[in-house]
Homo-oligomer: A and B are copies of this chain.
Amino acid sequence: MVVVMEQRASEDEVQHIIATLVEQGFDVHRSTGALRTVLGAVGGNRSFDERLINVMDGVQEVVRITEPYKLASRTFKPERTVVAVGDVRIGGDEVIVMAGPCSAESEEQVETVAAALAGAGAKLLRGGAFKPRSSPYSFQGLGEEGLKLLRSAADRNNLKLVSEVMEIGQIELVARYAHMLQVGARNMQNFNLLRELGKTRTPVLLKRGISATIEEWLLSAEYILSGGNTDVVLCERGIRTFERYTRNTLDISAVPVVHKLSHLPIIVDPSHGIGLRDKVAPMARAAVAAGADGLIIEVHPDPDHALSDGAQSLFPGQFDRLMAELRIIAPAIGRSICVEPVPRRGWGA
């Protein structure tokens, strides 16, 4: 922490700040300049609230100089982490695509989609069984029955399954079926949930909250990492801005920023990020071009009749075309994207 004193700060005020910092375990270096005094404080308590100094008399500004997260930082671990979900490796040379419907709705829906996705080169099936809906009057998901359908379709098509957990009580159940547990944007700061996920050994896909800074997001990852679960993948899914035409503003720049600050892999969710089907493919291409380690995309065999988020779900044929485009883009940055997909059983779009 660096404490910049006001020009007219008195010696007493300076001494009071120094005493307070020392009391909190900091080593304090004082630098008295022509115009003002600057104090450098190192060591001390990582969770110390620097605003306490900020409101003291004589203080002009306080600046924190260490990231509040540690295990998630590249300072701690310079080389990139590769997260293994079964035999799928996220964070390596291959760009990993996860896809599927917003919610599991029926056996036929899930199986149709899973077969199509596998055929096109996806590696994980995504699908919700418990849905967090902003309206109490909306479809809330199939629960365990949905998980069974999803896992069964995933297995038949050689896909891994990623599905969302909304509360502590669901972890055990979802982990029984899913290979990767998704934490939704609204739960990014549900710290009790994060702490419990830190105790499991199932990989976690941690979505960014719609108003979370990248620092807060990495701090949420830290909750999981500090519990001993090192398999965390971050997922950018759009932040809230003043722009009204799109549902959210997909922050593609989070990809290079996270790669600089952290060793954790980062994927992008263009479906939630943009919220309208016809803009999903451009944003998916943009994410891969920016260096994302993967994508998670909503695909539905019949989006017009989807029980949730149909408007942002691709038709399977659109997903096929997108994958073909991504195979051209990935090599530009020295990456690949499932080049030899499983031969697919035909179906139209």
Contacts and interface: CB of A to CB of B under 8 A. Distances in A.
Contacts of A169: 168-169
Contacts of A306: 52
A166 B52 CA distance: 25
Interface string A140-176: 0000000000000000000000000011110000000
Given A132-B189, A223-B136, A283 B252 contact: yes
A25 interface: no
Interface of A: 2, 4, 6-8, 20, 27, 29, 31, 33-35, 38, 40, 42-43, 45-47, 49, 51-52, 54-56, 60-61, 63, 65-66, 68-69, 75, 78, 132-139, 166-169, 186-187, 189-193, 195, 209-211, 213-216, 219-220, 222-223, 226, 239-247, 249-253, 255-257, 260-261, 273-279, 282-283, 285-291, 303-304, 306, 308-312, 325-326, 328-329, 331-333
B241 A249 contact: yes
Among A45, A289, A312, find the residue whose CB has the most chain B CB atoms closer than 10 A: A289
A245 B287 CA distance: 19
B250 A250 contact: no
Contact of A31 (B29, B66, B191): B29
A295 B308 CA distance: 37
Nearest to A188: B186
A283 B278 contact: no
Nearest to A211: B211
Nearest to A275: B51
A31 B40 contact: yes
Contacts of A213: 242-245
A253 B249 contact: yes
B246 A253 contact: yes
- The secondary structure that dominates the A interface is mixed
A35 B40 contact: no
Given A325-B333, A332-B329, A286 B252 contact: yes
User: Which one of A6, A136, A192, A312 has the greatest number of beta carbons of chain B within 10 Å?
Assistant: A136
A122 to B, nearest CB: 18
A301 to B, nearest CB: 15
Q: Which 5 A-B pairs have the closest CB atoms?
A: A211-B211, A51-B311, A289-B289, A328-B332, A286-B286
Contact of A285 (B33, B223, B253, B332): B332
B2 A65 contact: yes
Nearest to A42: B33
Contacts of A193: 167
A245 B332 contact: no
Most buried by B among A134, A139, A166: A134
B75 A60 contact: yes
Contacts of A240: 211, 242
A68 B186 CA distance: 19
A287 B285 contact: no
Nearest to A192: B167
22 contacts: A6-B75, A35-B42, A40-B40, A47-B135, A63-B63, A68-B135, A69-B135, A134-B191, A167-B167, A169-B169, A215-B244, A240-B242, A241-B241, A250-B253, A255-B282, A285-B290, A286-B286, A286-B290, A328-B328, A328-B331, A329-B329, A329-B332
